[in-house]
Amino acid sequence: MVKMGVISKITASTKPASYAVAAVAHLLKLPLSVDPLAAEPSVTGPASVTAQSATTPISLSGSIPVLRYVARVDASHAKTLGITDTLRHSQIDYWIDFCGISLAPEAGFKPLATAFNALNSHLKMRSFLVGYSLTLADIACWGALRAIPIFNQKVKAKDNGLGPYLTRWFNHVDSLDFATLAVAEFEKARISIQSILSKTKAVASKEKKGDQGSFEINLVDAQMGKVVTRFPPEPSGYMHIGHAKAALLNEYFARKYEGTMICRFDDTNPSKEKSEFEETIMEDLVLLGIKPDRITHTSDCFDVIYEYALKLIKKGLAYVDDSTQEVMREERMALIESKCRNLSVEENLRRFSEMTRGSEKGVLMCLRAKINMKDPNGTMRDPVIYRCNATPHHRTGTKWKLYPIYDFACPIVDAHEGVTHALRSMEYRDRNPQYDWFLTALELRKVHIWDFSRVNFVYTLLSKRKLAWFVEEGLVTGWDDARFPTVRGIRRRGMTIQALRDYILMQGASQKMLELEWDKIWTLNKKVIDPIAPRHTALEREKITKVKVINADLFTPYTKSVPKHQKNPEVGEKMTTYSPELYLEFNDAKDLVVGEEVTLMAWGNVIVEKIDWAEGNDFIGTIEIRLNLDGDFKKTKKKLTWLARGIPSNEPQQAPVRATLFDFDYLITKKKLEEDDEMKDFVTPVTEFKTEAWGDANLRLCKQGDIIQLERKGYYIVDKAFDPAAPNSSIHLFLIPDGRVDSIKSKAAPEEPAAASAPVAAPAAKKAKTAKGAAAKPVASDDPLKSPMYASKKVYTETAKFPGVVGQMYEVKAFYGSPFAATKAVAPSAKAAAPAAVDAATPATEGKKEKAEKGKKGGSPAAAPAAEASIISKLDMVVGKIIKVENHPDADSLYVEQIDCGEAQPRTVVSGLRKFMTLEDLQDRMILVLKNLKPAAMRGIKSHAMVLCASNADHTKVEFLIPPAGSKPGDRVFFEGHEGTPEEQLNPKKKVWETVQPDFKTRDDLVAVWKNVEFRTAKGIVKTGSLAGASIK
């Protein structure tokens, strides 16, 4: 190392303390000055160094640059600081970077806890961070930890939470002479200039708030040891990411002020609440690392709340209203007082007694607070505070026939339980005056409110009512579905609890309303899982290509133990099989060229010798390669994943295993739904995609919940593990988004999927390079190890494409139909001509555009395009007869029907008609059925058709469509002028049903029409019973 100059002065600041810089200065006996006013911003503490070199003076600022410069400026410095060679230098640099990234003083306590855990794990079998003696890495990390107040508090308290190995190491370094002297320097500076520090304290505090912002809020009247917060979830659904933020914020401030956190279940609506939801919420809190000091229920205070209701009535501040809900809504909008507002106290008490008994008259009434019907704030216009509900409560049973509204119960219970600070999301801000009014009117103590911004993610619904709709409609598998924003849903998708906590705490208690993208949280999650996710291999089963190693005459299949993670040996080892017979994924194989050198990952280079395309050029029979393990993998452009086809005869467990790779889309197609948007209009038709694959044998050992990385495909979580009792069953792997645009964008983008093209053929250029001449037909394999597992039928068609997905084919498990239309076999000559057919169609399209333009200018209007004219014929609608109907065992809104559609067996159909019709209404009814939607699971029962009904605008009345007299099951429904052969199953990506359905109406004469073309069977027209101008779904 070249001596670059002489250090004339090192300056270290005290806010925060640059302990590492001062310690290095003492160790190397360099001139040091501790300046309490130095405020050069840096991650581990401001410091500067001035050096006189042979040319010009230099100056550096920031702890990390200073430490690195001091170590490099003189060879003796490097030796003293443990930098003995290039490898050691790189290892030390890693830990210096770790200080700057992971041990920043301004980091939240959760990211710091992660860093502490990493250090503790690393030091488990080590006395020093690098090598067997003290180095600059130890000094840098010690100094960074010394500057973190929470770490020092835990060390002084002998908190075992830091970990024994980290504590042992820290105490050792802290006891060394140079460290003791460094600490003394800062103590001396603080004592000598207390007046200066007191002046800068306010500035530093202000700057800290600017940096942290969201958490450094001023809780009014917050006193150490006396702050009480509460997290009040309603047990009517699973805990979602918004609840997680509320829970973590309440816990944060309770712990910050050494106070109390209450988890209170707001169980004031027995119609929606279940004890199972309480259990899952408590389990999720445990997973998040949140331990409330007390668990309570609003129902614990029902008697207290009831007495306060009586108090309001007696004070003339509440009245019992028997107006209908519609009338009350209209009066509140028009600022009109209710006819019941000025009833006497005695009459209101009598009426409230009727409500309490749940009498016939009482159940039609509600109790309202008498505030101000002219208030611009709608929440102050005499809100309802009690209503009747005969549903038994899951905790109090049938004791109560009336229940308080949350807005009334909340301030009372907050005051009763000693809550000092109520943290509420911004959506409640308009209700804050109402909250304060109740406290004042009931003479209760003051509870301070702090608003924080709600978590709003794009393409995401957090309303429990809307999420419940998806569950009830069978569009998801349950509240823990991987497409749901519930804690359990995103965990099932692969989100780690650590990343979830870190992300929410990064958001803090900010009041800024944002529509958050999903990229940051998934990027944070990737940082958590990447260092520990074992690496595995999977190849898409579609057209999988056989490969033969031709220079392996004496090479028999064998297995070898290799690391599961090349960069982290602590992840463990796995067994990899090497064989002269391999598999490649077709998407890789089709791009290979004879003579090309490529790399087989985790093996070495190979040279492509021969490619045998099958007749028709739509798949490859075999590929022959030659091993070139001495080749330089850095020079190859293609790095390919592979699997062994031949396996050792004595190790059948090393055979590839079946795997199904799942990917998901958002449940809605719009980033943010507006208030006037109808949610059902934006439901994503297809949200689940799957690809059948072969995975390496090590996947057999993965457990449910394990997170892995499939090389060149992404991160996955095991949703269904290998079942030894069913060895031919498939492992289910869910793709984990990694934060990149392609992984988080909506697949239901406005752009249409690419038109179906001819199957992939061997390019002419490739054939010209083929030394063997024309492609040969595939020859039957003589592999003695051939397994029937590999003889799999095709799952996919060859033409379907999905927007935004390059090189991947998906089999879609859809709720609205099959993703792939049935296709007939096409002769090679026809396939080859496909592109020409597309080109030939272009002038015709342009001609139609010209005619349309003429029509606009006054000429005769152009005829509708043939594609639009015939789209209705793709639907397979028939007359059906309901021969049996029963209630769905697991859904209150669904019926399960057996419908005769004129086929050999009746179809099982699940319909959401239970709210509108009785069992008797359905039995033996003649109806219309849409048959060619893909069967969909509806709360555990697969539905094989859809019953068509007419409904009014607000969906409060629903009627069957009535086939003409004399119709029988199986009669086809058609539209004159648009006859054609229906598709076997509709392709959801073409959105046929979504395109035609908005034009399904009933006319004033009750006839069902599509664009005013009547629904007909051979017996006549189709009508409805009484609904005119209705929508048909």
Catalytic positions, written as ranges: 234, 454, 464
CA distance 51 to 29: 15
The closest of 343, 233, 335, 336 to 283, measured between CA atoms, is 233
Q: Is residue 927 a contact partner of residue 880, using CB atoms and an 8 Å limit?
A: yes
In 3D, which of 273, 232, 234 has the Cα closest to residue 389? Answer: 273
Distance of CA 941 to the CA centre of its chain: 26
Which ranges in 781-881 belong to alpha helices (H)? Answer: 828-856, 866-870
Tokens of 847: 């001609």
**854 CB neighbour count, 10 Å cutoff:** 13
Buried b (16+ CB within 10 A) or exposed e, 963-978: bbeebebebebbbeeb
d(CA 414, CA 878): 59
> At 403, phi and psi to the nearest 5?
-140, 145
Q: How many CB atoms lie within 10 A of CB 182?
A: 30
What are the φ and ψ backbone dihedral angles of 867, each rounded to 5 degrees?
A: -60, -40
Cβ atoms of 443 and 307 within 8 Å: the answer is no
In the structure encoding, which two tokens stand for residue 834, read together?
Answer: 């496909």
What DSSP line would sit under 449-512, residue for residue? EEEE----BTT----HHHHHHHHHTTSSSSTT-TTS-BHHHHHHHT--HHHHHHHHHHHTT---
Which runs of E-coded beta strand occur in 30-87?
Answer: 32-35, 47-53, 57-61
Cis check: omega of the bond before 16, within 30 degrees of 0: yes
Q: Are 147 and 139 in contact (CB under 8 A)?
A: no
CA–CA separation, 418 and 216 (whole Å):
23
Cα dihedral value 157, 160, 161, 167, nearest 10 = 80
Residue 296 DSSP symbol: E
CA 362 vs CA 316, 353, 405: distances in Å:
20, 8, 17
In the Cβ-directed half-sphere of 348, how many Cα atoms lie within 13 Å?
26
Q: Which of 288, 285, 274 is nearest to 231 (CA)?
A: 285
Q: How far apart are the first and last CA of the chain?
A: 80
Sign of CA dihedral 830, 834, 840, 845: positive
The DSSP code sequence of 322-349 is ---HHHHHHHHHTT---TTTT--HHHHH
Distance of CA 752 to the CA centre of its chain: 25
- Give the phi and the psi of residue 255 in degrees, each rounded to 5: -75, -35
Token pair listed for 672 = 């943010």
Separation of CA 142 from chain center? 38
CA-wise closest residue to 625 among 636, 615, 905, 634: 636
